[in-house]
């Protein structure tokens, strides 16, 4: 039976790519549209949701084929889907030449999480320098989490070690503990952490509006972020003045 990405992997890709109706320049300087589609895209292009779903299906078929052809060991559904997401984002050639592929094909399953997370940089289109992308750091963490999640399904016969227990990998931006610790020296860490969590929730809501690719969505997303920032400042100012 031909192995294909499961719903967990599909949801992960859609969540991180987001739907964009109008073509936009991604951080790597490529015109992108729909759910991360780049082939043949140019400035001014638009797509409907139905067209974006079709393009995503075509792109996923290529990524699935790459993983099936280049990885020679047995994979669970979640492991396969995590690699498809990784390949969808980075391309077949990067999978083919990666240390990740070499170590995995040597049956070193435990090396995959670290190897996945190494690919967290984008090349600045102006300077040509590689820079760490927070978005890619978080996406790699999501893919690692999926890779390490048990599903009990193996695509082909083979002696494959049981996937290790899933570990929780949090980005700094999502960690209330980290936010609170960073400000503890100034006092009011609990207040800042709670307020920061509200900002994170507002940012997630704003992202959903902005990712629609419309001017209305952009305006609404910006308003949400500005309002959250003003509320955060007001709470900190009240705390400083003893008006908690």
* 52-106 pLDDT, tens digit each: 999 999 999 999 999 999 999 999 999 999 999 999 999 999 999 999 999 999 9
The separation between CA 160 and the C-alpha centre of its own chain, rounded to angstroms, equals: 27
Q: Find the mean pLDDT for residues 38-45.
A: 93
Q: Average per-residue pLDDT in the chain?
A: 76
The separation between CA 58 and the C-alpha centre of its own chain, rounded to angstroms, equals: 20
What are the residue ranges spanned by the domains of the chain? 7-147, 172-240
Tokens read off for 151: 């599903």
Q: Judge whether residue 172 has pLDDT over 50.
A: no
Q: Find the mean pLDDT for residues 230-240.
A: 58
The answer to whether residue 165 is catalytic is: no
Out of 3.40.1710.10, 3.40.50.720, 3.10.129.10, 1.10.530.40, select the CATH number for domain 7-147: 1.10.530.40
Q: Judge whether residue 213 has pLDDT over 70.
A: no
Q: Judge whether residue 10 has pLDDT over 50.
A: yes
Q: Place 244 in a pLDDT band, splitting at 50, 70 and 90.
A: very low
Q: Judge whether residue 9 has pLDDT over 70.
A: yes
| Among 26, 51, 53, 207, the one annotated catalytic | 26
Q: Judge whether residue 190 has pLDDT over 50.
A: no
| Among 17, 64, 77, 115, the one annotated catalytic | 17
The answer to whether residue 53 is catalytic is: no
More reliable by pLDDT, 186 or 73:
73
Facing residues of 123 across strands?
A: 130
17-33 confidence digits (pLDDT tens): 999 999 998 877 889 99
At residue 186, the pLDDT reads 37
Q: Which residues contact 219 (CB under 8 A, 6 or more apart)?
A: none
Q: At residue 131, what are phi and psi to the nearest 5 degrees?
A: -130, 140
At residue 193, the pLDDT reads 43
Rounded distance, CA 63 to CA 10, Å?
Answer: 12
Q: Judge whether residue 150 has pLDDT over 90.
A: no
The model carries a pTM of 0.60
At residue 175, the pLDDT reads 36
């Amino acid at each position: 039976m031909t192995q294909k990405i499961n719903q967990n992997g599909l949801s992960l890709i859609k969540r991180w790519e987001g739907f964009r109706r109008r073509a936009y320049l991604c951080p790597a300087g490529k015109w992108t549209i729909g759910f991360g589609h780049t082939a043949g895209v140019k400035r001014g292009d638009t797509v409907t949701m139905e067209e974006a779903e079709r393009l995503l299906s075509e792109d996923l078929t290529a990524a699935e084929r790459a993983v099936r052809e280049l990885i020679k060991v047995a994979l669970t559904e979640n492991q396969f889907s995590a690699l498809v997401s990784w390949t969808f984002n980075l391309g077949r050639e990067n999978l083919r030449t990666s240390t990740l592929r070499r170590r995995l094909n040597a049956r070193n399953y435990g090396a995959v999480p670290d190897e996945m997370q190494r690919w967290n940089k984008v090349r600045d289109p102006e300077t040509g320098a590689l820079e760490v992308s927070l978005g890619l750091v978080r996406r790699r963490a999501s893919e690692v989490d999926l890779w390490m999640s048990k599903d009990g399904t193996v695509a082909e016969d083979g002696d494959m070690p049981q996937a290790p227990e899933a570990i929780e990998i949090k980005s700094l931006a999502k960690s209330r503990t980290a936010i609170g610790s960073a400000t503890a020296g100034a006092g009011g860490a609990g207040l800042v952490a709670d307020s920061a969590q509200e900002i994170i929730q507002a940012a997630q809501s704003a992202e959903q509006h902005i990712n629609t690719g419309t001017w209305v969505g952009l305006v609404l997303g910006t308003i949400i972020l500005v309002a959250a920032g003003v509320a955060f400042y007001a709470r900190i100012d009240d705390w400083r003045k003893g008006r908690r």
